[in-house]
Amino acid sequence: MQDSTATNARDAGRAAQRAAEARPVRIAIDAMGGDHGPEVVIPGAAMALQRHPQMRFVIYGDAAQVEPLLDGHPALKAASAFTHTDVSIKMDEKPSQALRLGRYKSSMWRAIQAVRDDEADACLSAGNTGALMAMSMFCLKTMPQVERPAIAAIWPTVRGESIVLDVGASIGADASHYVNLAVLGAAMARIVFDMERPGVGLLNVGREEIKGIEAVKEAGRTLREANLPNLDYRGFVEGDDIGKGTVDVVVTEGFTGNIALKTAEGTAKQIGEYLRSAMGRTWRAKLGYLLARPAFDALRAKMDPSRANGGVFLGLEGVVIKSHGGADVKGVAAAIDIAYDMAHYQLMRTIRDMLDETPIATAS
């Protein structure tokens, strides 16, 4: 994969990266996204700034709502450039509608545009996923070697964390898209887990080579034969392997990935409800609960979705992070931490390098 487009893209990326290394990480924020808007996003940014005091922000949103909040967080205000925007994308807006209403002028678009114009190294929005992806594709463009962008989630496992992608951007996939997803996920894993050769599995209905969808089987053969330097292909994994942490990166297409993610979230909530109801049923259980309270709190923190908040859009010419719409202040801060890591540890450069090293026919 050494055609001129890829090489130019890589060189451009490296040049941008060299420039980026000289300055602090800059995050563009869509303050108007999410169920709670600036009330949660601004304090979330303030919390993230405490952890990375050298971070800088460019913030977009409605001045009447955002400015009073910034006044309440002077450290954040000092580290930020704020721009008023008239249009906010609603959570239930269709992507096409969002593009029509919000292109060029919404807080969401402007945050993405800041990445495109190199005014920020990554952007964050808690707004509606479909609109954010549509605008990101329109504004930043998809990388030349990538068919369609994907959304990657960081998934807590019994061994730590894994990356699961795609959790909802692309519906359906052919073999080359699965291979793309594997490379994108491995690049992200290098950064998130700081490992040279992450273990990658293709999600399937059985471990045997003969099982499953033809495109998955073909992608498996391609990855096995390619034996890539930065991607340790481990074969098929099943649904229960995700929580076990069998591999560092679990690859599937967006329909199945989205349903797997939401099914796991639903199951965790369901068990939480069982547990609450079991612990409140008798005095003995209530007393036991009180004694074991710190353990329960630790468990709750471990199951807390805000810990792993932040879907990473992969395959675009820039870093876009989607915070959960219902995220609280801690959740938004966690998503900004992810944005920081992706920018600081050079996700774009890693992806470009790995795509260049992949001797596999991909989209062009």
1 binds its own copies (CB under 8 A): no
Q: Kindly tell me which residue out of 298, 359, 361, 364 binds its own copies, with binding defined by CB under 8 A.
A: 298
278 binds its own copies (CB under 8 A): yes
User: By rule CB under 8 A, what string of x and - marks binding of each residue 167-196 to its own copies?
Assistant: -x--xx------------------------
263 binds its own copies (CB under 8 A): yes
- How far apart are CB 116 and its own copies at their closest, in Å? 27
Are the C-beta atoms of 308 and 161 separated by less than 8 Å?
yes
Q: Is 221 exposed, middle or buried (0-12, 13-18, 19+ CB in 10 A)?
A: exposed
CA dihedral 119, 343, 252, 126 (to 10 degrees): -60
Q: Kindly tell me which residue out of 53, 158, 160, 196 binds its own copies, with binding defined by CB under 8 A.
A: 158
Q: Kindly tell me which residue out of 1, 87, 91, 303 binds its own copies, with binding defined by CB under 8 A.
A: 303
Residues 6 or more apart whose CB falls under 8 angstroms from that of 245 comprise: 157, 158, 159, 160, 161, 162
Rounded-to-integer distance, Cα 140 and Cα 77, Å: 27
Rounded-to-integer distance, Cα 164 and Cα 287, Å: 39
**Quick one: tokens of 160?**
């730590």
294 binds its own copies (CB under 8 A): yes
132 binds its own copies (CB under 8 A): no
Residues 6 or more apart whose CB falls under 8 angstroms from that of 288 comprise: 279
Are the C-beta atoms of 171 and 259 separated by less than 8 Å?
no
Nearer to its own copies, 1 or 91 (CB): 91
The tokens 């951007």 sit on which residue? 169
Q: Kindly tell me which residue out of 19, 75, 271, 361 binds its own copies, with binding defined by CB under 8 A.
A: 271
289 binds its own copies (CB under 8 A): yes
91 binds its own copies (CB under 8 A): no
Are the C-beta atoms of 320 and 112 separated by less than 8 Å?
yes
Nearer to its own copies, 241 or 341 (CB): 241
- How far apart are CB 241 and its own copies at their closest, in Å? 7
The tokens 């992450």 sit on which residue? 198
Nearer to its own copies, 74 or 280 (CB): 280
Q: Kindly tell me which residue out of 12, 15, 287, 361 binds its own copies, with binding defined by CB under 8 A.
A: 287
- Interaction with its own copies in 242-261: which residues (CB under 8 A)? 242-244, 252, 254-256, 258-261
Are the C-beta atoms of 241 and 196 separated by less than 8 Å?
no
Are the C-beta atoms of 66 and 116 separated by less than 8 Å?
no
User: By rule CB under 8 A, what string of x and - marks binding of each residue 199-218 to its own copies?
Assistant: ----x-x--x-x-xx-----
221 binds its own copies (CB under 8 A): no
361 binds its own copies (CB under 8 A): no
- How far apart are CB 270 and its own copies at their closest, in Å? 4
The tokens 């801060």 sit on which residue? 333
